Amino acid sequence: MDIENEKNERNVRLNKIKELENKDIKPYAEKFDKKNNCLELKNFKIGKKAQTAGRVVLKRDMGKISFIQIQDYTGKIQAVFTINDLDEDKYKNFVDLVNIGDFIGLYGEMFVTKKGEISILVKDFTFLSKALRPLPDKFHGVSDSELKYRQRYLDLIMNPETKERFQFRNDFIWELRKFYKDYNFEEINTPILCNTASGALAKPFNTHHNALDIDVHLRIAPELYLKRAIIGGYERVVEFARCFRNEGTDPSHLQDFIMIEHYAAYWNFEDNMKFTEEMLTSVIKKLKGNLKIEIPNRDGKLVEVDFSAPWKKVSFRDLLIKDCSIDIDKFPDLESLKNEIKSKNIEIKDIDSLGRGNLIDALYKVVSRPKLINPIFLINHPIDVSPLARKNDNNPNIADRFQLVINGWEIVNAYSELTDPIDQADRFDKQMEAKGMGDEEAMNKDEDYIRAMEYGMPPVSGWGMGVERIIALLTKQQNLRDVVLFPLMRPEN
């Protein structure tokens, strides 16, 4: 419907509000006692009383009989109005004043139409809410991506698969919470406004706290506060944390997202790998009914991914050697590694502003990550790219860390935590040096966290997973905004 027609339709509906008011019918009711939903009604016995409400999404007037479909959160059901079952004035009010998009309450009984469709034979109805704008064309729904993101409410109304996708997201999070509870994890909350944005390699959002007259940051990760909780005596903690990272946007990155992080005292990263396999295979099998799932690859083609355990483990160094013939152990300083990358004509954005750790990470993201489709544990990361991870006892140049990568997306990042406060302070200093050289994503030093560590910290392994990424994979979406109800967009004007 074009803008002019929509404007005219809105005026028609505004006039109908006046007609409703003239008939002493409230166009916006206070409440309705809804006793049955649409899904329940489809299983009711013929003749059973029905009392329900919903949005009118289809309406056909045929003289002395009219058909509508109403929709609620559980689905749709047909309702039939006849001039014989309603008095003439009430029937006329329905025909003249009810539009597609309006909410109405229905009283009636279940019956089967001549075409065999289970329906409500309406004995009475109540007007609940007048819609001033028409819904999109019922045959096409909402197909424009930008319109879906800006007006998700229309997407939810018109496309049942959208609601199903977000219901899956809710169910997935709920099952994770139950799994954590079964493993004796305590769910806690940590600050979103922070004096120091740390815990990950990312650029923060900054703001000002008027009451305290200080500049603060939106957290980029809950990590350092969750580890403070471990220092304070918790042994297993988890947070479903809203995180904010002021960096570029693309289909696999959001600036505002949900990160699940957990920490388990006395575990190492290998314990966490076992836990990850068990939790994700258990939840995926429960919700999907199968561990072999089709997901779209980077070209949009559906490929089968087998989540059956055990998942493959691959060394970070070996992966780079295979994919670009660069052995990072042979280039221990920043300049030599940078020159080697340039000599192979590998293009990395802002290469001259990156520290060695972020340069290695950027190299991996260019030459290796896009090729990883099936679930794979990437292990033996260089210590440079793991400023919070524990050094390996046998090889101090690598970290006791793993990442779970699926379809070129990093789904989980986890490691045996660094518990040595002197080592941690030194690594923070190296990150600050990189920041001073222009690396905006280098990690900030958190002096209070160092002080907390100095009071003693048990062995611990930590873990983080982006909710939107795993949900996008499991629901066949290629853009993370398709699994966020109301993603941030530029203003229309």
162 shares its domain with 117? no
Residue 203 is given by DSSP the state: P
Question: CB-side exposure of 66: number of CA atoms within 13 Å?
Answer: 24
405 shares its domain with 438? yes
128 shares its domain with 197? no
310 shares its domain with 456? yes
Q: Give me the number of domains the chain comprises.
A: 2
Would residue 429 count as lying in a domain?
yes
Q: Residue 319 — φ and ψ, nearest 5°?
A: -65, -45
pLDDT 10s digits, 113-131: 999 999 999 999 999 999 9
Q: For CA atoms 93, 99, 105, 106, give the dihedral sign.
A: positive
61 shares its domain with 182? no
- Assign residue 243 the CATH number of its domain: 3.30.930.10
Would residue 149 count as lying in a domain?
no
Would residue 150 count as lying in a domain?
no
Amino acid at 40: E
d(CA 131, CA 10): 9
pLDDT, mean over the chain = 92
231 shares its domain with 266? yes
pLDDT 10s digits, 237-248: 999 999 999 988
Would residue 191 count as lying in a domain?
yes
Would residue 144 count as lying in a domain?
no
Domain boundary among 101, 135, 169: 135
In this predicted structure, what is the pLDDT of residue 139? 54
β pairing state of 256-265 and 460-466: antiparallel
In this predicted structure, what is the pLDDT of residue 487? 94
In this predicted structure, what is the pLDDT of residue 138? 60
Least trusted range by pLDDT, from 229-233, 253-257, 384-388: 384-388
Would residue 430 count as lying in a domain?
yes
In this predicted structure, what is the pLDDT of residue 445? 78
Domain boundary among 82, 101, 135: 135
261 shares its domain with 114? no
For residues 429 and 292, the model is more confident at: 292
Would residue 488 count as lying in a domain?
no
129 shares its domain with 183? no
Q: For CA atoms 10, 57, 79, 65, give the dihedral sign.
A: positive
242 shares its domain with 292? yes
Question: CB-side exposure of 59: number of CA atoms within 13 Å?
Answer: 19
Residue 213 is given by DSSP the state: T
pTM of the model: 0.88
Would residue 366 count as lying in a domain?
yes
441 shares its domain with 478? yes
d(CA 451, CA 231): 11
Max Cα–Cα distance, the chain, nearest Å: 89
In this predicted structure, what is the pLDDT of residue 140? 62
Q: How would residue 430 be classed by pLDDT, with cut points 50, 70 and 90? A: confident
Residue 390 is given by DSSP the state: P
Least trusted range by pLDDT, from 279-288, 429-438, 475-484: 429-438
Least trusted range by pLDDT, from 49-58, 138-147, 263-272, 441-450: 138-147
Domain boundary among 73, 102, 135: 135
75: domain range? 3-135
- Assign residue 117 the CATH number of its domain: 2.40.50.140
Q: Are 17 and 7 in contact (CB under 8 A)?
A: no
Chain centroid to Cα 453, Å, comes to 33
The helix/strand/coil state of 176 is helix
66 shares its domain with 185? no
CA angle (138, 72, 30) in 5-degree steps: 115
Amino acid at 174: W
Q: Which two tokens stand for residue 164?
A: 């199903």
Residue 120 is given by DSSP the state: E
pLDDT 10s digits, 192-234: 998 887 777 778 899 999 999 999 999 999 999 999 999 999 9
253 shares its domain with 312? yes
